Amino acid sequence: MAEQIQWKTIDQIFCKSMRCRKCFDQQLAEPALIDVAQPRLIGSHYFGAPVKILIITPYPGCGTSEKQKPNIEFCKILHDYRDGKNTTLQDLFAFQSKYIKKWGEPQGHFVDFYICGLELDIEEIAFTTIAWCATRWNKHPPEMLSKCFSINTGKLIQATNPNIIILSGSDTHKYSSDISCNNIVRAKNYAYYEKTHDHDAEQKELLRIRREITRLVKKN
């Protein structure tokens, strides 16, 4: 019963986020092809996991021309979900579970970093972002990040009640003082290594994060 209430709360947070247009109305940024908030995947066994881990990245990317077709499909699913057109939270997660394996450059780097690299079970962890909307040219001014954290991300953190939070990316680290969780791991973002192409440094960072997760689990 408690888990059903938790999922219902998350459903309400997601639906409300997708009706928000504040940043675009205030011209803080221009919307990308996917022009609504993009709730991120929460594993089906998250609330029953022995250790609930929430991974927070800065924002969803605007996508590339190669990904235009799945972006158009996902945009429709998001709009239908927001508008109550026979699309459920499970439909959103099912689509993301299918395409998350293709995220990143090279293809699949997102999963290689956060799931394989950290040795986590995708069904037992949750993802979210600081800003929930993609923007044209991936431009997310600080005011937009702060607004979205206040309106959406903070509420989702409360609803998911994680044991450990991984803040992945420098744009996420500044929010650590706004998060009421004692177990926060600050890490580089997976996309950082898509720019540096430093495989050895990436492996060292993944090892450091795994060790920090292990230390926090033992502490608790």
Which is higher by pLDDT, 218 or 68?
218
User: Which tens digits make up the pLDDT trace of 192-217?
Assistant: 999 999 999 999 999 999 999 999 99
Q: Which CATH fold topology does 32-219 show?
A: Uracil-DNA Glycosylase, subunit E (3.40.470)
Most trustworthy range by pLDDT among 62-66, 162-166, 195-199: 162-166
Q: How confident is the model at residue 125 (pLDDT cuts 50, 70, 90)?
A: very high
Report the pLDDT value the prediction gives residue 63, as an integer from 0 to 100: 76
Residue ranges of the domains in the chain?
A: 32-219
**Stretch (H or E) spanning 109:** helix 109-111
Q: Is the pLDDT of residue 220 over 70?
A: yes
Tokens of 74: 């996902």
User: Which tens digits make up the pLDDT trace of 14-32?
Assistant: 999 999 999 999 999 999 9
Those residues with Cβ within 8 angstroms of residue 172's Cβ, 6 or more apart along the chain or in another chain? 56, 57, 58, 130, 189
Q: Round to whole Å and give the CA distance between 6 and 161.
A: 10
Those residues with Cβ within 8 angstroms of residue 126's Cβ, 6 or more apart along the chain or in another chain? 40, 41, 42, 43, 46, 52, 53, 54, 55, 160, 162
Q: How confident is the model at residue 69 (pLDDT cuts 50, 70, 90)?
A: confident
pTM: 0.96
Average model confidence (pLDDT) for the chain? 95
